[in-house]
Each structure stands twice: as C-alpha cells, then as structure tokens.
Amino acid sequence: MSQVSKSYHSADPIVDYCSKYTVVQDPLQVELQETTLKSAPMAGMLGAPEVLTVGANFIHLVGGKKVLDIGTFTGASALAWALATGEVGKVYTFDICHENYKKFGLPVISKNPEVLKRINAVEGPALEGLDKLIAEGQSGTFDFAFIDADKENYSAYYDRAVTLLRKGGVIMIDNVSRFSSLVDFSFLSCLLH
C-alpha cells in the first residue's frame, strides 16, 4: 500500500494538479503553512491543505459554527475551521502542549483578531478537555469534529466527539492509514449494525 503525499511535499504531478484546482487558501493559511514548514520541529505533522479544505467544505455544508479540533500542533486546522465558521464561529482546539501553537501559530493568526477570537486553545490532555465540555452540558451542540492527535486515543476521542456532536454533525478523522497500516477502527462497528 502506498502512502498518500501531502501536497506541500509532493513531487507527484497528479497531486500537484488536483491541489492547484481544488485548494484555495486564505493568506494567513499560506503564511502559517510556510512558517511551519520552514521553522517548526516535526513540520510533517502539519495538516495537508487539501485535508483542511475538505474539512472547511464539510463545515460549510452543515452550516457549522461550533467545532472540535483535537490536535493543535501549530494551529493550521484551528485556523481553517475558524475561517470556515464565520463571524459567530467557535473552535475548541485541544493539545497536550501548545508550545508550537504559541511560537508559530499565534504570531500569524493574531494578525486577524476577528479570526483569533474564534479560537479557544485548550492546553492539556484532550480527553480531559472533552470530558469537561460534556460535564458542562455541551453534549449535542457541536457541528464538526476533526481528530488528528495521538493515534492510540482515537477511539476515545471518537466516543467523546459523538457525544458532543449534534445530529447531522460531521466527524473527520485524519491519518487513518498511517505507515501503510490502518488504525484499528473496530470501535466503529456499532455503525455497521
């Protein structure tokens, strides 16, 4: 099984062609991508522009205003969702450590204070943050969830996201095929019955 390249790393003319005609980035997204690729450690963790475009399209399709972003890194996905949700949107982005977000993401995103105020960066274990939202009575109030964090907790993140999403909400999970193997998604079996 071959690994799909991210467009910013691709030498594949088909990937380049598809990205050229399907990915439209805000100037802040371009700047954050360039900054991350140039300066951030483990820059390959950066979300692919085509993945962020698909997620933004889902947000638009469901009229999403309230988003869970599980896995922040430098904030590229949080920025994409904040742009997609519009003026009244709210993005809760979770990561165990926001060092890269603070160092690389905030200086770029803060250039647009209207977009920055839509992002609620929650530093600490994402499961604790998600459980706190559930305890606060926010179950069934989110429109979209993006999971791109520590792979061993994907099933737990999925369970929390299902609880927090409204009916008709969308969950998007990145890296389900990683290092030529599939993440164990047996926890989805309940959907097949």
The alpha carbon of 141 is separated from its chain's Cα centroid by a whole number of angstroms, namely 18
Is residue 184 domain-resident? no
Which residue's structure tokens are 């909400």?
Answer: 169
Mean of the per-residue pLDDT values for the chain? 87
Is residue 44 domain-resident? yes
Is residue 188 domain-resident? no
Is residue 181 domain-resident? no
Comparing 182 with 119, the larger pLDDT belongs to: 119
Is residue 185 domain-resident? no
What CATH number is associated with residue 146? 3.40.50.150
Specify burial of residue 62 (Cβ count, 10 A radius: 0-12, 13-18, 19+).
middle
What local confidence, expressed as pLDDT, does residue 21 receive? Answer: 79
Is residue 73 domain-resident? yes
Comparing 16 with 34, the larger pLDDT belongs to: 34
Is residue 183 domain-resident? no
Name the band, by pLDDT with cuts 50, 70 and 90, for residue 184: low
Number of domains into which the chain is organized: 1
pTM of the model: 0.85
Q: What angle do CA 156, 157, 161 make, to 5 degrees?
A: 120
Whether 182 shows a pLDDT value over 90: the answer reads: no
CA distances from residue 70 to 112, 124, 126, 178 in whole angstroms, order as listed: 22, 11, 7, 17
Encode burial over 149-161: b for 16+ CB neighbours within 10 A, e otherwise.
Answer: bebeebeebbebb
Helix axes 49-61, 27-39, angle to 10 degrees: 150
* Segments forming the whole domain that contains residue 112: 7-175
Is residue 149 domain-resident? yes
What pLDDT, in 10s, does the model give residues 129-149? Answer: 999 999 999 999 999 999 999
